[in-house]
Amino acid sequence: MRKIFFLLLLVPLLSISQNQIQGLVVDSRTKQPLSFASISTNTNYVTLTDVDGKFHIKTKKHFNQIRISYVGYKSKIISINTNDKFLKIKLKPSVENLKEILITAKENPALKIIRNTIKNKSKNNIEKSLNSFKFITYNKIIVTANPDSINGKIDSIFVLKKGKKTFKKLDSSNYKFKKEINKQHIYISEKISEFKFKKGKKKKEIILASRMAGLKQPLYELFAITFQDFSFYNEFYTIAGTKYTNPIANNAIKQYNYKILDTVTTQNRASILIYFKPKEKKEFLGIEGVLYIDTQNFAITKAIVELKSIVNVKAIQNFKYIKKYNTWFPKNMNIVLKKGDNNKNISLFGGAVKFSESKKNDSVTNTHKNNPEDVTYFISKSVNSNIEINTPIILKNTATIIEFNDDANKKTAVFWNTYRTDSLTNRGKRTYTFLDSISEEEGVEKKINLARNILKGYYPTKYINLNLGKIINLNNYEGLRIGFGGETNTNFSSKFKIESYAAYGTKDTDFKYSLGASFRVQKNTNSWFGLSYVNDLKEAASLDFIAENTSFSPINPRNLNVSKFYNYKTINTYFKHDIKPNLEAKLKLSTGKYKPLFNYQFISATKNLSEYKLTTASLGLQFNPKNEYMNSPIGKLKMKNKFPQFTFQLTKSFENIFASNFDFTQINLRILHKIKRLRKATTNILIEGGIVFGEAPISHLYNSTPNYTFKNPWRKRITLAGKNSFETMGYNEFISDKFVSIHLKHLLKPLKISSKFKPQFTLVTRVAIGDIEKPLQHYGLIFKKLNKGYIESGLELNELFKGFGLSAFYRYGYYKNPEWSDNLALKLTYKLRLGF
């Protein structure tokens, strides 16, 4: 009886205490929501409203009172009872006294604090203020939904016809979704990494353990995505893979408005809460949120960033004060993506994923309140531990920013439990089990491997990756070229590789082929030694690079009109090695026969040759100083492709070695740069050229990459534009032994005419200048010198239909033709889209 009486006394207390509640805070006069108002419970749980004034409190401790405060408004204390599920709280404006330090400036006091924060960035940015640091990070990514937010009833769908609502069918999707989400998440992955940093070098991540539901081998490319920046002191802050102007960037005050919200105590140090929001009508990507700024050293102690659109993004970063070094070190980071409640479009992950408003079908209605897509959300949580500062650290290959340990996907439960800062729930365990079985049943990993290789230009089979670029091609000499080729993959051997192809031309009725083998000398430096024999064709006087990274393209449109080819039959040996991950070198030794497939003779005082032999040594370098890479079990992967990029090649021909007929030295250079501003146009700059010292045959001279034919009638001149070619320059119109060219492309923002039709204008100008010392040595060719400078400009309108577009170019300057139509080139453009 005494126990029952005690429980009855306890019931009133429980009835006015709970552990969760939602609400909205607004201005009592304007009814406008108050963003980032401070909400605290009587159990010392503190949170902020979001940009729409909404808040959601859910804690383990029961509370029965909340306090709402906002700078410039009277604070309010509200008692809570069990019937309260949603509160609409109105705050009245008032004049509040801030600390004297905050009101000494005549201007907005928040600006003074922001200026000091910007001024002290170098002192507070740990990547500049500390000599070294390392730490362990546990990251968990979950795609899930809260079962309590789902109506698990079977719903009805109605069709509206002529004003009458007619029942169509029952919809059990919500019922099934709630049943499944109670048992498991939609997706889960975990990662344990060790981060190392040494001043003067880039931060490096070593992935110690990784687990992705449904995959035995992780999808390594996902590690290239920056969900949330580690540092909040960069000029641009990255969330969901997209860069945004940082509210403490050097010029941020011109782009953001700021407001002081409150002062709080964090780890026994005072912090000022500064609300920031992009200024209206500004042409840049802005974010909205709150910065917690230390009043003593103006460091960021906490940051909250939000994007409100069709998809809402909220990122939170907390810092830990380390007194010994007087620094705030990143402690944890969270980012959440979920469906928004407005129709603003948004692009995430650098524009790779775009969300836009979809049209609703007003003729179909249902009784759903929340569909699965309305309540599903993505969350990534990272927690740092084992922090060590200014201890000796050795970093090698710093361009390899991520290194994946070979046994990372084989770690035991003991290892995971040692570093997990957030326990794996039963829902999480069931998610792994369920998705692993589904993935194996549907062959998900095979599909991922297929997509990964097709992007590189290969179709994977069990032991051989077929080269898609060797299957079919077109050119003016061979006609339709049909071929087959490929290379062995890691299933065959990770240390040994065989490469081969064969092709047949329907016009020249001849076979071409290649056979080669190579073996890996050293894995970390991507070092390979190889041998090959090649019997094939190449365009005469073309710029050639042995170390160039070429992308997959099944057809080169320039080849349709190229008529001057030479055949080469060479034996080659090469050594490929990464001096650094972003500095790739290739040394190639070659000897063989060369035969021009057109009327050509090299005539000099000592030579009269229509065919010749060459023995050459070539050193090629590919230097991408800002690129970042990963060392993975499947090899070296590019994580970030940045500019400028440099390609260099030195070729030396040795006369009389293996009956070689020439002694010359050739130097080739290419520089590619891309300037891309946020939400602005993009400018591409290509500089390329070369010079030959000594007597050299047509195979090692330069034609400046022309792409125009003077065929008649004029309509026959309308062909496909090349990638970086002179569209008004005739084939072999100019031959040089030294030249330089500059290609300028200015890509304007695409025109958003509709969701699917987004044509893009591109302004193009190309300039070339060159010379040839002894043109009479090259008998049979009719060509001009390029020493007066060649200029053309044009306009491209791309993406008109299925990747096709139109372009027009005009030739002017010294080499302008007398007939105006001979200076005009109309071309089709094409951009290949692989669909993923």
Q: Give a three-class secondary structure readout of 630-692.
A: EEECCEEEEEECCCCEEEEEEEEECCCHHHCCCCCEEEEEEEEEEEECCCCCEEEEEEEEEEE
Dihedral of alpha carbons 403, 646, 542, 779, sign: negative
- The token duo for 800 is 């008109």
Peptide bond into 581 cis (omega under 30): no
Q: What is the pLDDT of residue 145?
A: 85
**Containing H/E element for 149?**
none
- Which of 141-155, 369-383, 453-467 is predicted most confidently? 453-467
Report whether the peptide linkage leading into residue 713 is cis, meaning its omega lies within 30 degrees of zero. Answer: yes
Question: What does the alpha-carbon distance between residue 311 and residue 313 come to, in Å, rounded to a whole number?
Answer: 6
For the ranges 334-348, 355-369, 685-699, 813-827, the lowest mean pLDDT is seen at: 355-369
Give, in degrees to the nearest 5, the angle at Cα 239 between 233 and 244: 65
- The more confidently predicted of residues 581 and 149 is 581
Please say if the pLDDT value at position 275 is more than 50.
Answer: yes
Q: What is the pLDDT confidence band of residue 406, given thresholds at 50, 70 and 90?
A: confident
CB 619, CB 587: distance < 8 Å: yes
Please say whether the beta carbons of 125 and 233 come within 8 A: yes
- Is the per-residue pLDDT at 419 higher than 80? yes
Top-confidence residue, 71 or 11? 71
* Element of type H or E holding 304: strand 300-307
Domain range summary for the chain, segments of one domain joined by +: 13-91, 117-442, 539-557+615-623+642-830
pLDDT at residue 399, rounded to an integer = 67
Q: What is the pLDDT of residues 421-453, one digit of tens each?
A: 888 999 999 999 999 999 999 898 888 888 888
Alpha-carbon 183 to chain mean position = 34
State pLDDT tens for residues 104-146: 446 789 999 999 999 999 999 999 999 999 999 999 999 998 7
| pLDDT of 548 above 90 | no
| Rounded Cα gap, residues 588 and 422, in angstroms | 53
Given a contact cutoff of 8 angstroms between Cβ atoms, the answer to whether 336 and 349 are in contact is no
Averaged pLDDT score across all residues of the chain:
86
How confident is the model at residue 98, as a pLDDT?
41
Say yes or no to pLDDT of 411 above 80.
Answer: yes
Q: Please state, in angstroms and rounded to a whole number, the distance separating the CA atoms of residues 265 and 606.
A: 88
Closest CA to 560 of 501, 485, 481, 503: 481
Confidence class of residue 343 from pLDDT cuts 50, 70 and 90? low
Q: Which tokens belong to 157?
A: 């769908």
Q: What CATH number matches the domain at 13-91, 2.60.40.1120, 3.40.50.2300, 3.40.1180.10, 3.30.70.1560?
A: 2.60.40.1120
**Confidence band for 397, pLDDT divided at 50, 70 and 90:** low
- Amino acid at residue number 509: T
What mean pLDDT comes out for the span 392-417? Answer: 86
Q: Give me the mean pLDDT over the 723-739 stretch.
A: 95
**Which residues are registered as beta bridge partners of 188?**
142
> Which pLDDT band holds residue 2 (cuts at 50, 70, 90)?
very low
**Nearest in space to 217 (alpha carbons), one of 679, 634, 530:** 634
204-214 per-position pLDDT tens digit: 999 999 999 99
Confidence band for 45, pLDDT divided at 50, 70 and 90: confident
pLDDT at residue number 473: 87
> CA-to-CA distance for 615 and 602, rounded, in angstroms?
17
The share of the chain scoring above pLDDT 90, in percent, equals: 56
The predicted pLDDT at position 112 comes to 93
Percent of the chain predicted with pLDDT > 70: 86
Looking only at Cα atoms, what is the longest distance across the chain? 124
Which tops the pLDDT comparison, 716 or 734?
A: 734
For helices 426-442 and 444-455, the axis angle rounded to 10 degrees is: 70
